[in-house]
Amino acid sequence: MTLEDTLRKILETGKDWQRVPVKDAPGVFVVKAPAYKNRPASLMVEINPLGPDGTPSKRRGLILRRVDELKQFREIMSAERLEKVLETVEKVNPRTQTAGGEEFEV
């Protein structure tokens, strides 16, 4: 079965909001969005890094519907300034504790 055939099958038979992992691409999922008003059901790609246990680390990751969106995000993510800003955010944010009292750094 081709990739296109597989995606068509997910679109036709998958459950609303079903998240299907993409083979050989850890952290990449195909998600079926339900029909809404005049818009038919459609597929989206979710990028969501995996945690140590192999499950998505965020409730929802980055959702993409078109290749041009991916290109825009790649451009933004490659900006040198972004890394510097994130490093500084980590420095200025207060340390947090988990419910069990265990301290961790972001």
How confident is the model at residue 101, as a pLDDT?
Answer: 55
> pTM higher than 0.85 for the full model?
no
Tell me what the pLDDT averaged over the chain comes to. Answer: 90
H or E element in which residue 43 lies: strand 42-47
| Interval 10-23: pLDDT, tens | 999 999 999 999 99
Q: So where are the chain's domains?
A: 3-93
CB–CB of 33/41 below 8 Å?
Answer: yes
Q: Is the pLDDT of residue 95 over 90?
A: no
Q: How far apart are the first and last CA of the chain?
A: 42
Task: Supply the DSSP symbol for 26.
Answer: T
Question: Is beta strand 62-64 parallel, antiparallel or unpaired with respect to 96-97?
Answer: unpaired
pLDDT band at 53 (very low <50, low <70, confident <90, very high): very high
H or E element in which residue 103 lies: strand 103-104
93 CB contacts (<8 Å, ≥6 apart)?
A: 106
How confident is the model at residue 106, as a pLDDT?
Answer: 41
Share of the chain above pLDDT 70, in %: 91
- Token pair in block for residue 3: 């990739």
- Mean per-residue pLDDT, 46-50: 95
